[in-house]
């Protein structure tokens, strides 16, 4: 399967703490993307990291990619209650399927005030 698999399935932390979510996948990728989904809403794109990149930052987000281990991690620093949501990684294998995303089951993050 091309799907990413997130770990842990659920994460509960206090405001101000850091949250780390991991994603593993099975096939070669062109890029890997992280999305956030608030309850009952659509997905919001957070960050895209290409296969030739190892780390990327965007505000309080830090994403790493290790293609040798077929894994990625998303770090949210200084978390806020508003970060409570489900986080999904999605892989794009590229080639003839470039542009198609395969999502994992997601990590449910709860940030307590």
Partner 1 sequence: EAGVAQSPRYKIIEKRQSVAFWCNPISGHATLYWYQQILGQGPKLLIQFQNNGVVDDSQLPKDRFSAERLKGVDSTLKIQPAKLEDSAVYLCASSAYRGLTSTDTQYFGPGTRLTVL
Question: Please, what is the minimum distance in Å from the beta carbon of residue 98 to partner 1?
Answer: 6
3-state secondary structure of 24: strand
Burial label, 70 (beta-carbon count in 10 A; 0-12, 13-18, 19+): middle
Question: Please, what is the minimum distance in Å from the beta carbon of residue 94 to partner 1?
Answer: 8
Can you tell me which residue has the tokens 């593993």?
24
Question: Which residues would be at the binding site for partner 1 (CB under 8 A)?
Answer: 3, 30-31, 33, 35, 40-45, 48, 88, 90, 92, 94, 97-106
CA separation, residue 46 to residues 1, 11, 34, 75, 96 (Å):
23, 18, 6, 12, 24
Nearer to partner 1, 83 or 104 (CB): 104
Nearer to partner 1, 19 or 87 (CB): 87
Question: Please, what is the minimum distance in Å from the beta carbon of residue 84 to partner 1?
Answer: 17
């Amino acid at each position: 399967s091309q799907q990413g698999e997130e770990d842990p399935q659920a994460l509960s932390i206090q405001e101000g703490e850091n949250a780390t979510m991991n994603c593993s996948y099975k096939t070669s990728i062109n890029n890997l993307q992280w999305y956030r989904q608030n309850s009952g809403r659509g997905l919001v794109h957070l960050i895209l990291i290409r296969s030739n990149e190892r780390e990327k930052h965007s505000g309080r987000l830090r994403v790493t990619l290790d293609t040798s281990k077929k894994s990625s991690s998303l770090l949210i620093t200084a978390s806020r209650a508003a970060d409570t949501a489900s986080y999904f990684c999605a892989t794009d294998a590229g080639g003839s399927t470039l542009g198609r995303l395969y999502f994992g089951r997601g990590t449910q993050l709860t940030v307590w005030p």
